[in-house]
Structure 1
Amino acid sequence: MEWQGVFGPARDIVPGAGIEVWKEHEDWLAPDFWEPDTDRWVLALQTWVLRSGGRTVLVDTGVGNGRERPGRPVFDHMDTDFLGRLAAAGVHPEDVDVVVNTHLHSDHIGWNTVGRGPGEWVPAFPNATYLMPAADHAHFAAAARRNPGTTPALAFRDSVEPVVRAGQAVLWEGEHRIDDNLVLEAAPGHTPGSSVLRLTSGGERAVFVGDLVHSPVQLVEPSCNSCFCEDETQAAATRQRILGRAADTRELVLPAHIAGAGAFEVRREGGGFAVRDWASYSA
């Protein structure tokens, strides 16, 4: 966990879900995912750590420290003990073999790099291969050229370009198999290159969905996108498809920003979904 706290008005984050939806489900949305008194969304920034095939894999790398993030005061020049927390979990930078960026929004790529002096950024995980969606790389590279002072442009320059220059990035498209247990699949909509990481090990199944779901209210109303989704029609269709498969195959769903237990199994209910079980570990 890099950071957790209230971020913004809930219906600004998921604008299609009206107050009546939040109120109807207040008994389980509050307090872990929604602060009713202030109508604020509770955000978690988290990285998932996997051990697979004798390798250590990180899924998404948060915001990072010391980054200039105009328009995002909470993320601007953050200072957290993220690497210390990884170390407490038994993972040191040189131990990481694979870094997965499910997409290239600024809050999923920050710890790709660390500072080595004013304006100098180098890969944080010197022995890792970084897997980045090619469609997102092209999209954000173009955005950085058009609007160089924005958060997406600054994030691309401090958290993506240094990894590519170091020769540690693999830009993949369609599907990318990491090993016998892990495969990346395109899941576009939130961004052009958004992806999910699917895990199958024995009888266990899980899917790391990045920003497919920002709040559990989107299980109840899967047609409702977050305000950060770039192609709303495609994002909603992808959400319905991925959650439908998770419900049908009993996959554990692990989003990037869900507070509380952070992960859940879903079942179909009406035109949407409901939580079948929360993950069995604590936040």
Structure 2
Amino acid sequence: MPLSYQELCAALDGEIAHLVKVAAAVDPHAPVPTCPTWTTGYLLGHVGGSHRWATRIVQERAQSFLRPGDVPVPREPATVAAWLADGGTELLAVLRATDPDTAVWTWGGGTRDASWWARRQLHETTVHRADAESALDSAWLVEDAVAVDGVEEFLDNLPFTRIWAPHVDELRGTGETLLLAGPEVSWLITLAPDGWRWERTGAAAATVTVRGSATDLYLFLWGRRPAADLAIEGDSALLDLWVRHSAI
């Protein structure tokens, strides 16, 4: 079952609190292993700016693209943590005060309403929390329900990223299939000449299968866990094609 709006907001609340703790502990000049061109200070500024952008879109009921705008980002760890907490508090207050069906502009797939932004900001925060933890060499744990929803959020939105990631259009084939096999739920991706599609499934035969926990598969899709760390069965060339062209 998809996460409800209340569950999305509650999970986002928890992820923001988690990231704030990491922000207070991490060196803002440290490199981010999972984002090699970023420092943790840049990463935390990116997340805080994204929170503030989403807040504005939902609060103003924007019906078209709003430029994110320049957001001053503090650099001292304690200050960055407080800045992240303030932005997260405002985002959650606006989301919780807004009917999830309220129509607003979105850039991806699925609904065109406030619930899309609750879901997007949950996964924006979760993935980048894992990035920040990589700078501390900490374990990347994600709640199973969040990870399952995150796999589907990624697959829902991936086709719409072609505006800045045109290589996504190269995800085509002649019926080859990729199975993301988790312990409770699996997803079958089929590549066709005109693009690709996905569906939830049970056990299924596939051209290539990637097995792992929900967290493993979630972080794999986002390029935060290499395929070599998971159990792979089948055509590695197809898996390589997916990894190269789904990177965003």
Q: TM-score, normalised by structure 2?
A: 0.27
Higher helix share: 2
Q: TM-score, normalised by structure 1?
A: 0.25
Higher strand share: 1
